[in-house]
Amino acid sequence: MHSRTDEGRHETPEECLREAEECERLAGLARSIATQRIMTVVAFQWRKLAEKAAERRKSSSSCVWPRRNPS
């Protein structure tokens, strides 16, 4: 998992899903139920971020910039 956030940086859906998988792996290794639950919630949040990142990617790829008329 990332130990810090990069200001202004948007993770890709793939990066978010890798983070979710890592959280799930750590949840499986956790000794306490509380830690397992926390890591499961964090994994869920990473998956939600992956969905948002995919939506952002989709909307940015469908964005059409107006052409400038050469003067």
Structural domains of the chain, count:
1
pTM over 0.85: no
For residue 23, being part of any structural domain is answered with yes
Instruction: Report yes or no on 35 lying in a domain.
Output: yes
Q: What's the pLDDT score for residue 36?
A: 98
Question: Considering the domain boundaries, does residue 67 fall inside one?
Answer: no
pLDDT for the residue numbered 1: 54
Residue 18 is assigned to a structural domain of this protein: yes
pLDDT, one tens digit per residue, over 2-43 is: 544 555 567 899 999 999 999 999 999 999 999 999 999 999
Return d(Cα 12, Cα 35) in angstroms, integer: 26
Alpha helices in 30-69 (DSSP H): 33-61
Residue 57 binned pLDDT confidence (cut-offs 50, 70, 90) = confident
Expressed as residue numbers, the domain containing 44 is: 13-59
pLDDT at 51: 96
